[in-house]
């Protein structure tokens, strides 16, 4: 078991939600002093610009084991603000990409006050995994909280390590015909991008296109 040292695809599904299992360590992850200092400064900067950031405990992926019929994650508590540092210490977040019955992709522009990706476009819903929560359940929770919708089908598609060190559990939510979304305050606008990634608008940057292409295979 182990985490790949370089950014990229760590494991590829799909898996059903019940095939994703989490085992929690009791002891909290303790970072180096330099990482703590960077996190402290990042939280201060967020407060200075009016972001209501709650710097509590979040989740770190210590290791994983993947097979066609299962994805096992070993998790441990970690200070949330460490994900704001240059090296995010394997902090774990969930990204729930959303497609409607016509194959279009849900994209939302993040509000300027939020802690992560302010003013940038993102796919679907996402957020940190709560302590004790199954990361597969995080996908559905974030979708409800951000877009007030329940998917017709939800699968866990991939485990991805970003250049920052943040690890994403990526899910795909398919909405039924006639499903409607309602935007939360963390976004200031949203759009349904075309099913064909090549037809996406200019605001769809390359990381978003890369993620979508990854999910197509």
Delimit the domains of the chain by residue range: 8-215
For 60, the 3-state DSSP assignment is strand
Helix (H), strand (E) at residue 163:
none
* Contact status, residue 169 vs residue 135, Cβ threshold 8 Å: yes
CATH of domain 8-215: 3.90.79.10
Backbone angles phi, psi at 79, to 5 degrees: -65, 130
* Contact status, residue 101 vs residue 187, Cβ threshold 8 Å: no
Query: From first to last of its 217 residues, what are the pLDDT tens digits of the chain?
Result: 444 445 689 999 999 999 999 999 999 988 777 777 877 787 777 777 767 666 778 899 999 999 999 999 999 998 777 777 655 567 899 999 999 999 999 999 999 888 778 899 999 999 889 888 999 999 999 999 999 999 999 999 999 998 878 899 999 999 999 999 999 999 999 999 999 999 999 999 999 999 999 998 7
Contacts of 199 (CB under 8 A, 6+ apart): 193
pLDDT at 113: 85
pLDDT at 53: 64
Task: For residues 70 and 96, give the distance between their C-alpha atoms in angstroms, rounded to a whole number.
Answer: 19
pLDDT at 58: 84
pTM: 0.86
């Amino acid at each position: 078991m182990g985490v790949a040292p370089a950014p990229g695809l760590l494991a590829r599904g799909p898996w059903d939600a019940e095939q994703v299992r989490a085992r929690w360590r009791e002891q909290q992850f303790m970072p180096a002093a330099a990482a703590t200092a960077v996190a402290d400064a990042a939280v201060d900067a967020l407060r200075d610009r009016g972001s209501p950031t709650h710097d509590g405990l979040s989740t770190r992926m210590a290791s994983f084991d993947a097979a066609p019929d299962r994805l096992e994650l070993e998790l441990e508590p970690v200070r949330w603000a460490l994900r704001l540092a240059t090296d995010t210490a394997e902090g774990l977040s969930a990204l729930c990409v959303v497609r409607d019955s016509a194959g279009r992709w849900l994209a939302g522009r993040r509000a300027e006050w939020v802690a992560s990706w302010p003013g940038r476009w993102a796919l679907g819903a996402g957020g940190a995994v709560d302590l004790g929560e199954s990361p597969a359940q995080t996908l559905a929770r974030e979708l409800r909280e951000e877009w007030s919708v329940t998917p017709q089908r939800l699968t866990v598609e991939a485990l991805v390590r970003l250049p920052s060190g943040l690890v994403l559990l990526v899910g795909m939510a398919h909405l039924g015909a006639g499903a409607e979304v309602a935007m939360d305050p963390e976004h200031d606008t949203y759009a349904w991008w075309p099913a064909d990634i090549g037809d996406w608008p200019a605001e769809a940057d390359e990381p978003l296109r890369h993620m979508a292409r990854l999910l197509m295979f």
